[in-house]
Structure 1
């Protein structure tokens, strides 16, 4: 892809409105006549079908109510979809697919909205969040909480909706279409959403410090610099605030290089990129790792954690929630509105993609 075309694609990132929501529900409904994976027989099949029907109806209900109550049906729609995911998952055998609780909890409602605390049940338990996380190779955490703001920032559509002015760790979009065949043995790709603070610093040290939170990116072999020599600073291109980009190279793993010239093929390079990144509605992202997490949080589970916290606020702290969603009184009102709109549009696609992921 020409460099200008890649930049044009990146410049529009985060404002795409058509995520194929209706088509995703069609995929999910069509799958019920011949359920995928282990959901094709017995009680798993019945649960798969019933859970998806409930999920769709809950999402439909969420679409016709306002922010005062929307977090409740949209969260429970996702939770029921999680039961379908568990029923279809090849990795869950015997009775391990049965889910018996939320598996996640929120505390600290007396704190500011960004500082609400999220914890999970221990690994190996049957709570929905824990078991679906296990299927997706996504981490759980117990004693040490994650702040709501940290999980909020893991969702790609929230790039434009920060909760505070604190430094953020957001998904780094990688342009998969920019990966092609090159006359060298490296995987080369455009990595985007480099924050302004890193670009403004302009040093190798600032970039290295930032990338420590992105293990897969930190394993790079090299990147394009502003000049020759091993100490030349990184070369960035800044399209929009908070959406800088740079070209990064990775050494291809051993065993690749099946092209006629002994170099990795375009397919091999793209496969390696996909192995290092997470998918979000057809796009690929490098995700940060927040302590106490040990690895990247799957985007579906980031949605799960955020929506659970919002649904608990709406249900058990209705006065606080009412203040938070008041556009006349709360700086968080519009970001919350946009998040809930994105949830209705994006999650059906993520659910359908996740079912395909765990059942094949």
Structure 2
């Protein structure tokens, strides 16, 4: 489902409230929570769109929390807790109030987030529903923000759309499936969006291989990096080809709108097509997390951390928003504005996906 504005997504969610997912049938409490929580989520996001950056992350976080409450209410797993309690996340750098200002002034993006792992709390509950890691292995805010950054797959600059210091952190890669062949048993996939520091390395094929092994386990050791067209060179926009030998009964027809061989390979490589683009991407897995973080969980954790900073270290937060003094200011503005658009869209996708599972 794709609309042009966040208002359209909220309107779509409003329509769902009169005919909620079938998993709420037989439970007035679940249905009531689904409807009321979505109403609050929408109101909080509308309010967030009207306030300045100093308060925006607080409203955005509680908005996504209430959207999560609605998602938990329609979880088809009847045995799972659905009445969310607590945050399920901690910001260890903010636990000692007397150290708050000093810690945050060092670097906002280095702030640490850690999941509590308590299943009845909000974030672990939603993470389980979405098959996403619950972040009990702590992670830095900058690592999570980089995972949102698909700019390397859309621009030639290779600079992070949010913050230049994140340009070498793992981020989504653009994917193009070139060949799925039964004749020679060869799969050829082109990837782009690697950090420039890797592409400029003297032996970039080794560097690309190591990068894929570390952050993209979907490209197992069966895949070999060849540069472009089998040569040790880099193509336009930093294209790099990877290949593997595999037995196919039939070759894929890449000109068909749907081919089962291509669909199977896309599933294996965790390929998805963003709503704004015809290009496909594959997402990285952070070390110690075990699997890719779902995009709703990314926004949840990011907005949690930023809301904590805004509430408990307002002086430091205001300084970070000062465009005359802070290199992070414009990136923070872009990040929070993007969340206004992205979160309701993702909520629609999640609720529709749950309904599809039930059917």
TM-score range, shorter chain: 0.7 to 0.9
- What 5-or-longer segments of structure 2 have no aligned partner? 94-99, 152-159
Any conservation in 1 of the 2:150–2:173 contact (CA below 8 Å)?
no
Q: In the superposition, relative to structure 1, how do residues 335 and 352 fare at CA in structure 2: closer, same or farther (>3 Å)? A: same
The 1-side partners of 2:21 and 2:272 are apart by 20
Pairwise CA RMSD = 2.9
| Whole-angstrom distance in 2 between the partners of 1:95 and 1:28 | 23
Structure 2 equivalent of residue 3 of structure 1: none
Distance in 2 (alpha carbons) for counterparts of 1:33 and 1:348: 18
SS of residue paired to 1:215 = coil
Correspondence 1:141 to 2:126: no
Q: Which residue in 2 is equivalent to 1:65?
A: 51
CA distance in 2, matches of 1:274, 1:71: 34
**Unpaired segments ≥5 residues, structure 1:** 1-17
* Partner residue in 1 for 2:161: 160
State the alpha-carbon separation in 1 of the partners of residues 146 and 312 from structure 2. 24
Alignment partners' CA distance in 2, 1:206 and 1:323: 38
Q: Distance in 1 between matches of 2:337 and 2:175?
A: 24
1:222 and 1:286 mapped to 2: Cα distance? 17
- Correspondence for 1:132: 126
In structure 2, the residue matched to 1:8 is none
For the residue of structure 2 that corresponds to 1:153, the secondary structure is helix
Deviations 1:139-176 (A, max 9, x none): 1233x42111111111035732225267311111325x
The superposition leaves residues 212-269 of structure 1 with CA deviations (integer Å, 9 ceiling, x where unpaired) of: 21111345534554576xxx53x42243xxxx233334566x8x747799xx972331
Q: Distance in 1 between matches of 2:69 and 2:50?
A: 24
How far residue 39 of structure 1 moved from its aligned partner, in angstroms, is 2.6
Distance 1:22 1:249, change over 3 A: farther
Partner of 1:87: 73
TM-score (norm 2): 0.81
TM-score of the aligned structures, taking structure 1 as reference length: 0.81
Structure 2 match to 1:48: 34
- CA distance in 1 between partners of 2:228 and 2:239 (Å): 14
For the residue of structure 2 that corresponds to 1:194, the secondary structure is: coil
Over 3 Å counting, the alpha-carbon distance change for 1:226 and 1:76 in structure 2 is closer
Q: Indicate the residue corresponding to 1:97 in structure 2.
A: 82
CA distance 1:165–1:216, shift in 2 (3 Å): closer
